Amino acid sequence: MSTLTSVERDTTIFDLINKEQHRQESGIELIASENFTSPQVMEAAGSVLTNKYAEGLPGKRYYGGCEVVDEIEQIAIDRLKSLFGATWANVQPHSGAQANTAVFLACLNPGDKIMGFNLAHGGHLSHGSPVNISGKYFQPVFYGVEAETGLIDWDKVEKQALQEKPKLLICGASAYSRDWDYARLRNIADQVGALLLADISHPAGLIAKGLLNDPFDHCHIVTTTTHKTLRGPRGGVIMMRNDFENPFGITTAKGKVRMMSSLLDSGVFPGTQGGPLEHIIAAKAIAFGEALTDGYANYATQVAKNAQAMATAFIDKGYKIISGGTDNHLMLIDLRTKNGVDYGLTGRLAENTLIKADITINKNMVPFDDKSPMVTSGIRVGTAAITTRGMVESDMARIVDLIDMVLMNHDQEAKIASAKTEINTWMKQFPLYV
Ligand SMILES: *Cc1c(COP(=O)(O)O)cnc(C)c1O
């Protein structure tokens, strides 16, 4: 008999997992980077594949017994390639930040200059934050949005790139609600001899379904997380539509110039990771398979429609959305004024008040914020998770009504409690896993 049969069930942890499931099911989830995966994605993530070591790539492993995981990982790669029209992909990065770090290792030397979107304007910390390896080991410079419009001015980006001459130009963000001009960015990158990386972690699912500009023809390398709009397990991937000989003159032992794909594979393993998480790779394969269906195309379309409806509802109430609206699944709301009136709201106050009504959002810096990152003047909301639950445009106005009611009554505990009761009852109409 296996020693596992006598293992006692860990009720401490499973009680907490049940509690977390209840939390997810009873509230309104508006965190733009979150979503709900399908039961089969979670089943694969919790499977026996977690037992397997598989350092290396399908067919080229450092361990025996990899025949089955080779098939699984190859299916994940093939499905991902067809989802985005890529010709090369690595599905092993443990997270989005890991995917970016692997790209940096493959493309840069320590101290090289990178140019990314300003963190304080909605960028991601893995694009050069001083507290992240990207900002400690490389030399970051940032472009941002215009104070007036909340939009990126591509002429300014070009001017700055010509001055700074970065080795790597990075586009993509965590809190930018507008689309990206990848053709223009490539033109800028080419002028300064930079490689262009698109990190599509947030809008990946919308890009896959043709709802936003396609970065693949213009950007040398594309990274994304798999757990945001893509609705897979927590993880990252790296892709290219067109492989190319690395421009750094790095050759193989036989003197042949190494392809970029080979440097990127090495950047993941052994560069920044050890054994891949084959259980997560299986879950990724399932999620990519789901994303290839018409059902997911309808989902992605609805995510965008819901974001439009939500933005309209906020604007109708007098809230200020940075850039005036959204092209994707998220928006950034500046709470400093509503209809021109200062109600003393901050991102922190909004987050802490809304959670009492079981509405989950995150506080977020707005561009040119005068408050600290722990306080902030704004909130970020997104429609990926609530759309998975089956909500449609008409539900967005009701959500915004509830948010507005709670924010305008942030010191009225009874009103907040009644909003919570209404929300818990309402959410029963959108069953998730029960
Ligand atoms: C979420 C995000 C990441 C990081 O993903 P993790 O899986 O949390 O490491 C990277 N880049 C961007 C733009 C993101 O929004």
The answer to the question of residue 165 being in a domain is yes
The answer to the question of residue 210 being in a domain is yes
The answer to the question of residue 410 being in a domain is yes
- The domain total for the chain is 2
Closest to 175 measured CA to CA, from 156, 201, 197, 155: 201
Residue identifier of the C-alpha nearest atom 3 of ligand 1: 96
Query: Rounded to the nearest whole angstrom, what is the distance from the C-alpha of residue 342 to the centroid of ligand 1?
Result: 33
Q: What confidence score (pLDDT) does residue 1 get?
A: 85
Tell me: do 283 and 329 sit in the same domain: no
Q: What confidence score (pLDDT) does residue 226 get?
A: 98
Atom of ligand 1 nearest to the CA of 236: 7
Tell me: do 345 and 271 sit in the same domain: no
Q: For each successive 10 residues of the chain (434 residues), what is the average pLDDT?
A: 93 98 98 98 98 98 97 98 98 98 98 97 96 97 97 98 98 98 98 98 98 98 98 98 96 95 98 98 98 98 98 98 98 97 97 98 96 96 98 98 98 97 98 90
The answer to the question of residue 4 being in a domain is no
Pocket test for ligand 1, best of 119, 197, 199, 201 (most atoms within 8 A of CB): 201
Cα gap 107→103, rounded to integer Å? 6
Could you tell me which residues come within 8 angstroms of residue 223 by beta carbon, excluding any fewer than 6 positions away?
A: 93, 96, 99, 100, 103, 172, 197, 198, 199, 200, 201, 236, 237, 238, 239
Residue identifier of the C-alpha nearest atom 1 of ligand 1: 201
Tell me: do 65 and 136 sit in the same domain: yes
The answer to the question of residue 298 being in a domain is no
Tell me: do 318 and 234 sit in the same domain: no
Q: What confidence score (pLDDT) does residue 301 get?
A: 98
Tell me: do 325 and 218 sit in the same domain: no
Tokens of 384: 């990926």
Cα gap 204→180, rounded to integer Å? 13
Cα gap 313→355, rounded to integer Å? 20
Q: For this structure, is 234 an active site residue?
A: yes
Q: For this structure, is 199 an active site residue?
A: yes
Tell me: do 315 and 288 sit in the same domain: no
Alpha helix ranges (H) inside 140-228: 154-164, 182-192, 204-208
Query: Rounded to the nearest whole angstrom, what is the distance from the C-alpha of residue 18 to the centroid of ligand 1?
Result: 27
* Domain end point (choices 292, 327, 354): 292
Tell me: do 58 and 178 sit in the same domain: yes
* CATH code of the domain covering residue 271: 3.40.640.10
Helix (H) or strand (E) segment spanning residue 82: helix 67-84
The answer to the question of residue 119 being in a domain is yes
Tell me: do 208 and 317 sit in the same domain: no
Which candidate in 34, 43, 52, 55 is catalytic? 55
Print the domain residue range for 170: 43-292
User: Which one-letter amino acid corresponds to residue 273?
Assistant: Q
What are the φ and ψ backbone dihedral angles of 217, each rounded to 5 degrees?
-75, -20
The reported pTM is: 0.97
* Domain end point (choices 270, 292, 314): 292
Query: Rounded to the nearest whole angstrom, what is the distance from the C-alpha of residue 41 to the centroid of ligand 1?
Result: 20
Which candidate in 79, 228, 241, 284 is catalytic? 228
Tell me: do 417 and 283 sit in the same domain: no
Which candidate in 25, 29, 73, 199 is catalytic? 199
Q: For this structure, is 62 an active site residue?
A: no
Q: For this structure, is 265 an active site residue?
A: no
Q: For this structure, is 8 an active site residue?
A: no
The answer to the question of residue 116 being in a domain is yes
The answer to the question of residue 141 being in a domain is yes
Binding site for (6S)-5,6,7,8-tetrahydrofolate, by residue number, is 119, 123-125
| Residue 339 backbone class (left: φ over 0; alpha: ψ -120 to 50; beta: rest) | left
Q: For this structure, is 165 an active site residue?
A: no
Tell me: do 270 and 322 sit in the same domain: no
* CATH code of the domain covering residue 333: 3.90.1150.10
Tell me: do 320 and 342 sit in the same domain: yes
Residues lining ligand 1, Cβ inside 6 A? 33, 95-97, 124, 126, 172-174, 199, 201-202, 225, 236
Tell me: do 142 and 278 sit in the same domain: yes
Contact 169, 195 (CB under 8 A): yes
* Domain end point (choices 264, 292, 320): 292
| Residue 252 backbone class (left: φ over 0; alpha: ψ -120 to 50; beta: rest) | beta
